C-alpha cells in the first residue's frame, strides 16, 4: 500500500524557501510524475518524501501514518537514482540482495527474490558481475531490481533515464511503465522531460519555483492547461501564443494554439506567412512560419507529405474548437 499525502509541506535551505506550503495527494497505485524546468523543486520534493531532506514544516503521511520524522531507512520506500548509485564493490547479485540482507531475511528467501527480479529485468546472466562491467541501461535495471525486491510501499525515481542515450531511454520508459502495470505499486517519478511525463503518468504534477502549477492526467493538462506556463510546458512542439488584436477577437489577452491544431495550405486560411525552417520527421513536418503579424514564429505540425519550401507563402487555419484563451494574469478563461 502506498498512499502518500503532503500537508502544508515546506522546505527552506537557510533563509531561502524552495518549497512554499504545498499540498498534494498521491493515491495508492498511482504513477505520479513531477515535472518542471530545472530548479523548480521537483527533486527536492521527492527527497522530502524519501526522507533524505528534512521537512521544514508540515506533514508527510504514508498510508495515513505521519512519516515526517521517520528516517529514510524506515519509511519503506525504494528509490532509483539518476546516477544509479549502485554499490561498486558488490556484484549485481549482492547489490540486489542488499536491502533484503539489511532486513535480515533468510538466505534462501533472498536468493529466490533476487533470481525472480533478475528474471523480470533480464539480468540473470549478469548476476556475478560488478556494476563497473555493465552498460548504463543494465546498471539502471540493477538499480530498479534493488528497488523491487523490497516490495516497497512506493517507488521513487529521480530522473532515472537522464544518463541514458535516446534509444535506450525509450526502451526503459516502456519497461518502467510495464513494471508499474505488473506491480501496481505507487510510483513517483521526477523528470524535466515532458514526453516522459506524458507517456508514463496517470497523474502529472507540474511544478515551477516550488509551486504546483497544475495536477492532472496527461490529457487533462494537454486539453485544459490551467495557465500559460502549463500550456507552454506540456506538448511538443510548444503551443503558439498569440497576443494583440487576434487574441482580443476571442475576448482574451493571449490565445494559445497547438501546432497540431493548425492547418497549412497554399491558398486559403485567415492567417498567412512565410515558411522559415522546416523540420522533417518523416511522419510529420514542423513548419516554422514567420511574418504572420501574430507572433514572431508560428509553429505548425503538418503531415510529412506536405511539401512547402523555405520562403513559400502559406495560409494557416486554426481549429476554432481548440483555441485556448488566457486572461491578463495568464490564467485560463473557461
Partner 1 sequence: MAIVATTTKFSIYGRPVLAWIVGLIFFFPIFWLVLTSFKTDADAVKPEFLFFFTPTLDNYLNMTENYDYWRFATNSVITSVFATVFALAVGIPCAYAMAFNPSRATKDVLMWMLSTKMLPAAAVLYPMTFITKSIGLFDTHFMVILVLMLINLPIVIWMLFTYFKEIPKDIIEAGQMDGVSTWGEVKEILIPLAWGGIASTALLCFIFCWNEAYWTVRLTTTEAATLSKLIEGNRAPEGLFFGRLSAVSAAAVGPIVVLGWFCQKQLVQGLTFGAVK
Residues lying near partner 1 in the complex (CB under 8 A): 50-52, 71-74, 77-79, 81-83, 85-89, 98-99, 102-103, 143, 146, 150, 156
Contact in structure between 164 and 84 (CB atoms under 8 Å):
no
Name the minimum Å distance from CB 92 to partner 1: 14
Closest CA to 257 of 291, 232, 278: 232
Q: Distance (Å, rounded) from C-alpha 234 to C-alpha 193?
A: 10
Q: Judged by CB, which is closer to partner 1: 70, or 323? A: 70
H or E element that contains 110: helix 107-120
Question: What cell does 179 get?
Answer: 513494471
Cβ contacts of 24 within 8 Å, gap of 6 or more? 5, 6, 205, 212, 215
H or E element that contains 298: strand 298-303
Percentages helix, strand, coil for the chain, rounded to the nearest 5? 30, 30, 35
Name the minimum Å distance from CB 188 to partner 1: 13
CA dist 187 to 65, 78, 209, 236, Å?
18, 10, 23, 24
Question: What cell does 45 get?
Answer: 520534493
Name the minimum Å distance from CB 147 to partner 1: 8
Name the minimum Å distance from CB 88 to partner 1: 7
Closest CA to 154 of 218, 54, 63: 63
H or E element that contains 174: helix 166-183
Question: What cell does 58 get?
Answer: 508540515
Name the minimum Å distance from CB 186 to partner 1: 15
Instruction: Return the DSSP state at 79.
Output: E
User: Going along 129-244, which residue ranges are E strands?
Assistant: 154-158, 186-191, 203-208, 211-216, 240-243
* Coil/strand/helix, residue 139: helix
Q: Judged by CB, which is closer to partner 1: 133, or 313? A: 133
Name the minimum Å distance from CB 73 to partner 1: 5
Name the minimum Å distance from CB 17 to partner 1: 18
Q: Judged by CB, which is closer to partner 1: 149, or 295? A: 149
Name the minimum Å distance from CB 55 to partner 1: 16
Name the minimum Å distance from CB 85 to partner 1: 4
Beta bridge partners of 190: 34, 158
In which region does residue 104 sit, left (phi positive, over 0), alpha (psi from -120 to 50) or beta (all else)? left
Amino acid at each position: 500500500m502506498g498512499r502518500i499525502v503532503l500537508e502544508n509541506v515546506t522546505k527552506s535551505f537557510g533563509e531561502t524557501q524552495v518549497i512554499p506550503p504545498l499540498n498534494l495527494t498521491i493515491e495508492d497505485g498511482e504513477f505520479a510524475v513531477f515535472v518542471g524546468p530545472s530548479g523548480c523543486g521537483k527533486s527536492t520534493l521527492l527527497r522530502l518524501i524519501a526522507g533524505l531532506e528534512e521537512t521544514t514544516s508540515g506533514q508527510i503521511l504514508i498510508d495515513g501514518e505521519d512519516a515526517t520524522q521517520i528516517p529514510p531507512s524506515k519509511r519503506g520506500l525504494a528509490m532509483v537514482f539518476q546516477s544509479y548509485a549502485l554499490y561498486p564493490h558488490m556484484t549485481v547479485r549482492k547489490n540486489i540482495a542488499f536491502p533484503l540482507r539489511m532486513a535480515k531475511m533468510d538466505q534462501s528467501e533472498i536468493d529466490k527474490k533476487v533470481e525472480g527480479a533478475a528474471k523480470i529485468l533480464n539480468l540473470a546472466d549478469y548476476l556475478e558481475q560488478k556494476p563497473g562491467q555493465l552498460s548504463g541501461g543494465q546498471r539502471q535495471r540493477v538499480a530498479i531490481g534493488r528497488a523491487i525486491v523490497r516490495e516497497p510501499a512506493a517507488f521513487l525515481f529521480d530522473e532515472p533515464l537522464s544518463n541514458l542515450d535516446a534509444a535506450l531511454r525509450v526502451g526503459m520508459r516502456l519497461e518502467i511503465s510495464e513494471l508499474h502495470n505488473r506491480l501496481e505499486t505507487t510510483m513517483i517519478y521526477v523528470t524535466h522531460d515532458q514526453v516522459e511525463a506524458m507517456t508514463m503518468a496517470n497523474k502529472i504534477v507540474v511544478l515551477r519555483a516550488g509551486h504546483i502549477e497544475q495536477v492532472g492526467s496527461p490529457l487533462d493538462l494537454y486539453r485544459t492547461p490551467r495557465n500559460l506556463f502549463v500550456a507552454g510546458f506540456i506538448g511538443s512542439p510548444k503551443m503558439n501564443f498569440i497576443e494583440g488584436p487576434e487574441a482580443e477577437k476571442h475576448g482574451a489577452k493571449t490565445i494559445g494554439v497547438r501546432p497540431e491544431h493548425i492547418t497549412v495550405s497554399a491558398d486559403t486560411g485567415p492567417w498567412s506567412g512565410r515558411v522559415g525552417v522546416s523540420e522533417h520527421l518523416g511522419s510529420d513536418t514542423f513548419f516554422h512560419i514567420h511574418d504572420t503579424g501574430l507572433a514572431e514564429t508560428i509553429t505548425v505540425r503538418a503531415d510529412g507529405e506536405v511539401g512547402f519550401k523555405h520562403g513559400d507563402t502559406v495560409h494557416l487555419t486554426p481549429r476554432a474548437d481548440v483555441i485556448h484563451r488566457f486572461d491578463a494574469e495568464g490564467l485560463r478563461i473557461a
